[in-house]
């Protein structure tokens, strides 16, 4: 049984995590800066833990944070989750961020023996609630194949766009093309 951690249980993250929990047999731990935003998941069986403990305990750590600076701090700082993740585990970032940051995270993760996947989503809160987000993935082929079944639990479409940072590149283009 896989152990999954989810960090960022706001408007989209909580629903995406709930779909994952409902459709898999994964043991799930969660963290959010505002603990009450994880209540729905705790009631569904998740365990609330500090971010560092989520990272230590998980085979797969999912992020759905607000801004790139939140991702950088949560992942790359001296207290960041990457410092606590075990070799061979997977870091999946769903935050809309920057290609440069995604590549930097991938490089640092690779040095630590962790697989990093940038996978921003579109679909907003409605897509997250209905399990119908579109996930644009930047990853190495083997990492994508391993994580894809988990992402499919809350996505209507998951597409590998290329190697590391290509998910963020695709999301940037999407935002430009489909800006209201």
DSSP 133-146: EEEEEE--HHHHHH
Pairing of strands 3-7, 47-48: unpaired
Q: Is 171 one of the annotated active-site residues of the chain? A: yes
- Map out the domains of the chain as residue ranges: 3-177
Nearest to 168 by CA among 71, 83, 78: 71
- State the pLDDT at residue 178: 73
CB < 8 Å & 24+ apart, contacts of 42-50: 44/18, 45/21, 46/6, 46/17, 46/21, 49/5
Residues 2-46 pLDDT 10s: 999 999 999 999 999 999 999 998 999 999 999 999 999 999 999
At 129-179, the pLDDT tens digits run 999 999 999 999 999 999 999 999 999 999 999 999 999 999 998 887 776
Dist. CA 18–CA 40, nearest whole Å: 8
**Catalytic residue (choose from 18, 56, 129, 171):** 171
Averaged pLDDT, 52-73: 98
- CATH class for the domain made up of 3-177: alpha beta
* Tens-place pLDDT, residues 101-140: 999 999 999 999 999 999 999 999 999 999 999 999 999 9
Q: What is the pLDDT of residue 174?
A: 85
8 A C-beta contact, residue 70 and residue 97 = no
Q: Per-residue confidence at 1, pLDDT binned at 50, 70, 90?
A: confident
**pTM, rounded to two decimals:** 0.96
């Amino acid at each position: 049984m896989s152990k999954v951690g989810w960090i960022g249980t706001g408007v989209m993250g909580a629903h995406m995590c709930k779909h994952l929990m409902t459709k898999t047999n994964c043991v799930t731990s969660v963290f959010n800066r505002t603990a009450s935003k994880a209540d729905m998941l705790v009631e569904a069986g998740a365990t609330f833990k500090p971010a560092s403990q989520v990272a230590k305990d998980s085979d797969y750590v999912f992020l759905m944070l607000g801004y790139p600076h939140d991702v950088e701090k949560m992942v790359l700082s001296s207290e960041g989750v990457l410092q606590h993740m075990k070799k061979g585990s997977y870091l999946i970032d769903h935050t809309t961020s920057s290609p440069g940051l995604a590549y930097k995270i991938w490089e640092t993760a690779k040095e630590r023996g962790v697989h990093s996947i940038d996978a921003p989503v579109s679909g907003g809160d409605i897509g997250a609630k209905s399990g119908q987000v579109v996930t644009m993935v930047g990853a190495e082929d083997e990492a994508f194949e391993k994580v894809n079944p988990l992402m499919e639990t809350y996505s209507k479409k998951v597409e590998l766009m290329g190697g590391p940072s290509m998910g963020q590149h695709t999301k940037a283009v999407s935002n430009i093309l489909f800006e209201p």
